[in-house]
Amino acid sequence: MAIITALDIQDDRRGDVRAILARLGSAGHPYVQSLLLPHVLLHDLTDAVHAVCAVHGNHPCMIDYAMARGIQIETLPWLIQSSTAFSHERAYLAGLTSAAGPLPSTPGQAQTDAALTQLRQTLEMLANSDRRGCATGAVSALILDWQSIRQVLDQAALRFGVTVPGNAMPDPLLDFAEDETTLGLARARGFGATQLLIQHRGLWDLLEARASARRG
């Protein structure tokens, strides 16, 4: 279990999404690193593609929920741009899931389905939060962490013979609190980012357990 330090808490309170990503991002998860190895098993890539699709392949996605909620009106142009870009990522993910074929036989599939549904609902709750800054932080973390997720998807695309499209996701919103008037917004942004990345790590933990079950 990771040890939470005073600096980690400070990063969360300041809404420092990049610092939070460095601590909790998918890139640092051992299973993500294993999926990027040259001789990764196709079953593991197939399982990962299906799981990412189950969490992020639906429309509306969490970005769309945040946009419709409109808690931070000033971020709407950025959310619209993010939603449009992510629609292309969903199309890529859908095509990749089709090319990957059926899920590999794995014990505990019903429990996995329930866990993925719960994960997706948690992300929707973050996007629909009434707390200004929460959805912004969650979407910013998604955009940054998607770079690592995209590496896994691109690895699968190369193995399954799917053309890898360009990634047009916009830059995240990474402004920091400078005074007491924006401190609450920064804390909410840090909370949203942290929770999004914790959910992603839970996804990789689940997939790692499934891979171990298939080998067991």
What are the angstrom distances between the C-alpha of 173 and each of 2, 43, 73, 137, 166? 26, 36, 14, 8, 21
Residue 3 has pLDDT above 50, yes or no: no
Quick: pLDDT tens for 138-194: 999 999 999 999 999 999 999 999 999 999 899 887 765 454 456 788 889 999 999
Query: How many Cβ atoms are within 10 Å of 176's Cβ, its own excluded?
Result: 12
Return the pLDDT at 184: 84
Torsion of CA 27, 183, 132, 187, to 10 degrees: 30
What are the angstrom distances between the C-alpha of 157 and each of 42, 85, 100, 162, 214? 11, 19, 8, 5, 22
Return the pLDDT at 6: 42
pLDDT band at 109 (very low <50, low <70, confident <90, very high): very high
- Percent of residues, the chain, with pLDDT higher than 70: 90
pLDDT band at 7 (very low <50, low <70, confident <90, very high): very low
Residue 12 has pLDDT above 60, yes or no: no
Residue 9 has pLDDT above 80, yes or no: no
Residue 39 has pLDDT above 70, yes or no: yes
Residue 4 has pLDDT above 60, yes or no: no
Q: Taking residues 40-45, what's their average pLDDT?
A: 96
Return the pLDDT at 14: 66
Return the pLDDT at 178: 52
Residue 89 has pLDDT above 90, yes or no: yes
Return the structure tokens found at 207: 């997939």
The answer to whether the predicted template modeling score (pTM) of the entire model surpasses 0.85 is yes
Quick: pLDDT tens for 188-216: 999 999 999 999 999 999 999 999 999 87
Higher-confidence residue of 113 and 183: namely 113
Return the structure tokens found at 163: 């053309």
Quick: pLDDT tens for 45-78: 999 999 999 999 999 999 999 999 988 888 999 9
